[in-house]
Structure 1
Amino acid sequence: MKQIGDGVYFVSDTAYATIFVVSDKGVIVVDPLPTLGKAYLQAIAEVTTLPVTHIIYSHDHLDHIGAAKLFPASAHIIAQAETRRSLEMLHDPRRPVPDISFDQTYLLELGNQQIELFYPGPNHTPGNIFLYLPRQKILMWVDVVYPGYAPYPKLSVSTDIAGTMAANKKALDYDFDIFVGGHVDHIGNRKDVETSLAFLIAVEESARQVLVEKTFPDYLKATGLATTEGIWFAHDDYEKDRTNACYAQLFPAWEKRLQGLSRSLKSHCWAMLVGLAISLPPATIPASLPGSSK
């Protein structure tokens, strides 16, 4: 645990991370991490005797909010409407349903502290939000940007890749110096978010290029797999072929910029190739945006 702003404390188990905010009226908890569990409450007790009055869910995933039941039942729980709908369907006692929800924006003011909540649209999950503390210039966005590290496999298992890219760009509209991404053992900064956007753009550009260089019909003609194993399995092999081409193109340029890339880059390439095939528009983000590789 360490203080990263006036009344703002960063807590981490080295793999997961979050913040809590101490005001003169009570404590605002963000993402009650199950890996911390009661240690989260102990960390708060080391700083203040004021009660926890509010809990904010960044999104609905159990690995980030699964200890919510350990916190005072009197605390208000706030989340985006999609997160609330998901939790209403799941009926998970570890993740109580929020009693306050919002569509796009919500301003939480508690005593001398203020947190702006904003939903940029579907990204990592439907309902995954930005949390912004304007006075401290802190931005939190969970499960997308991993300061210093490559994203979690398959582009952070994003449910909407185009939405994730658009949200990454939107995050840079905020005036912030400190970034909290929900993982790793340290805070980040604006450059980490810029690097994240540049990486996403680079993966998209590479995926588009390798698809143009060798189309599926061209692959079938070259390999003859359509006659030996059938079209269905041939497409699996085509995806592997194009994934390897994307990896070979990107890895030399990015291996020293993001830790762990050798473990996950192929999964990122595959996720983008599939995204281009099933959901992404012709040009998700122009290459001229800040952080682009061009």
Structure 2
Amino acid sequence: MGSEHIHILPLTQAGDTRSEAKCLEVLDCILNSDSSRECPTLPLPANSTITFPMQPLFFDLKQIRRSVWFYRVPSTYSSLIILKDRHLVLIDFLDVPNGLSNSSSVISAINMVLNGTIPDRVDMVYSHEHYDHIGAATLVYNFIKDSFPKTLVHIWGTWETFKLIRESDSNRAPLPNIIVGRRGAVLKVSDSLRIEMKIVGGHTLADMLLYIPPNNSEPGIVMYIDTVFPGYVPPFDLAMTENIRRYIEVQKALLHLDFGMLVSGHIRIGSKVDVQENLMYTEDLLQAAQASINSLTPEGLGRAGFNKALNPRANEFGNVWFSFDVLRKVQSEFCFKIMARKWGCRLGGLDIMTRGHCFAAVNYITLET
């Protein structure tokens, strides 16, 4: 099915951005002001600025390769829809719990891609176990079964995803009926289009790397969720990764694949450059965290209030958690300032998220290396 047979909404382009000079001005405030002065939020770099889909559809749908569509909702969550002849493949089912996404919009996107085609096979694929990425799967499954009762439906997922869905009471996602094991799996859509599935971890313990190899002039596509956020630093504590070592290893492995587009589950379509940038950021983060650990002195801790825990007249006297809190805050702030000097005007959200990254990195170095 060609793109001429479907109404495709263009992805929105970057809007106006503030100048680098303005960013440097705010960064100077963050690095040099005392704690009593509130600094503005860092303006976004040009490659970080996006706008959101507007009424009436509330989503973006863009064909990025023959038979492959990129789907994104206003909260910047994203997934893939694939249609080859009458074979429909749906990867992830976005159900964002913050009110910024209407889960039913995926039904509209599927109908736009189908454009009247009745699929004879549907494959639903779960990238990993988190419900913000798969929580609309029951809605989609019911739509498929109601609309195409004779259509065969396969649901792919890892054993870890199977267990989470089985133990959940929410009924937001049907159980996988094809388990992807440690050896991986291949879903063949056609002679020219296949999806290689491999369990790699890096965010959860069993994230799947989904890889569509290049074909002739068509670029390879990597779909790997919740690790790289194109144009931005990761959110909370390195995107809540359960294994920082693996988080780094997987990004290095991605760079050996032949691909031109990265679908990361968030923000926008990325590329190998975004993976390289996020990896550099993470490696710099670990160096900054190590420097913060090495920088500790009794005098510095005393200035931060650590000695209150040793003062019988202070409310904090003997409070073990107060001592640990001061220690980590001092380390995280030292690490943060190193990162801000180097990355503050290169990636969006650093001033909001990087202290949390430093906290996670200091803990990783202290406890796991």
Q: TM-score category by the smaller chain?
A: 0.7 to 0.9
Aligned to 2:5: none
Contact 2:301 2:330 in 1 (8 A): no
* Aligned residue identity for 2:358: C
Q: Please say if 1:173 is aligned against 2:256.
A: yes
Aligned to 1:291: none
Deviation digits for residues 62-89 of structure 1, max 9, x if unmatched? Answer: 1111110112355211112222222222
Contact 1:216 1:238 in 2 (8 A): no
Deviation digits for residues 96-142 of structure 1, max 9, x if unmatched? Answer: 1111112231101123431001111x321122111100034000111
- Given candidates 85, 91, 94, the residue that maps to 1:24 is 85
- Given candidates 66, 69, 79, the residue that maps to 1:6 is 66
Partners in 2 of 1:96 and 1:18 — Cα distance?
Answer: 18
- Given candidates 115, 127, 137, the residue that maps to 1:68 is 137
Partners in 2 of 1:201 and 1:11 — Cα distance?
Answer: 31
Are the structure 2 counterparts of residues 58 and 111 from structure 1 closer, same or farther at C-alpha, using a change threshold of 3 Å?
same
- Given candidates 141, 155, 178, the residue that maps to 1:100 is 178
Structure 2 unmatched ranges of 5 or more: 1-60, 96-100, 146-151, 312-316
Secondary structure of the equivalent of 1:199?
Answer: helix
For the pair shown, which has the larger CA radius of gyration, 1 or 2?
2
Shift of 1:27: 0.8
Aligned to 1:42: 108
1:128-147 equivalence runs, <5 A: 128-135=207-214, 136-147=219-230
Contact 2:301 2:326 in 1 (8 A): no
Are the structure 2 counterparts of residues 224 and 38 from structure 1 closer, same or farther at C-alpha, using a change threshold of 3 Å?
closer
Q: Please say if 1:81 is aligned against 2:159.
A: yes
* Aligned residue identity for 2:354: L
Shift of 1:226: 4.2
Are the structure 2 counterparts of residues 221 and 148 from structure 1 closer, same or farther at C-alpha, using a change threshold of 3 Å?
closer
Contact 1:26 1:50 in 2 (8 A): no
* Aligned residue identity for 2:252: K
Q: Please say if 1:237 is aligned against 2:326.
A: yes
Shift of 1:241: 0.6
1:77-226 equivalence runs, <5 A: 77-104=155-182, 105-112=184-191, 113-120=193-200, 122-135=201-214, 136-184=219-267, 186-214=268-296, 219=301, 223-226=306-309
Shift of 1:263: 0.9
- Given candidates 240, 246, 249, the residue that maps to 2:335 is 246
Aligned-pair identity in percent equals 29
Partners in 2 of 1:170 and 1:92 — Cα distance?
Answer: 35
Partners in 2 of 1:225 and 1:108 — Cα distance?
Answer: 61
Contact 1:206 1:249 in 2 (8 A): yes
Secondary structure of the equivalent of 1:214?
Answer: coil
Partners in 2 of 1:169 and 1:84 — Cα distance?
Answer: 28
What RMSD, in angstroms, separates the aligned Cα atoms of the two structures? 2.1
Contact 1:25 1:111 in 2 (8 A): no
Shift of 1:12: 0.6
Aligned to 1:288: none
Q: Please say if 1:56 is aligned against 2:125.
A: yes
Structure 1 unmatched ranges of 5 or more: 282-294
Q: How many residues align?
A: 278
Range with greater deviation from structure 2 (41-50 or 211-220):
211-220
